[in-house]
Structure 1
Amino acid sequence: MSGEGGVEESGGTIGVPRVVPIDQWPPAAQMAFWGFHQQHRQNYMRYAYLQLGSDADTEEAVDLTFDQVMDRWPWMLQMENLEGYAWTILKRRIIDMHRKRRRRPELMETAAFEAALAGHTDDPFATLADALALYAAVAALSERQRDAIVLHYGMGFTTAEAAVLMGNEEATVRSQLRTARQRLATLLKLRCPEHPDGKNPS
Structure 2
Amino acid sequence: MAGWERVLADLAETRGQALLRYAYLLTGDGAEAADLVQEALLRTFGRTTRGLTLESAEAYVRRAILTLHIDGRRRSGRWARVRHLVATRDVSDGPERAVVDGADLRSALAALSPRQRACVVLHYYEDLSVAQVADVLGCAPGAVKRHLSDARARLEPLLDDSREGSR
Relative to the length of structure 1, the TM-score reads 0.39
Higher fraction of helix? 2
Q: Which has the higher contact order (CA 8 A, sep 6+)?
A: 2
Please give the TM-score of this superposition, normalised by the length of structure 2: 0.46
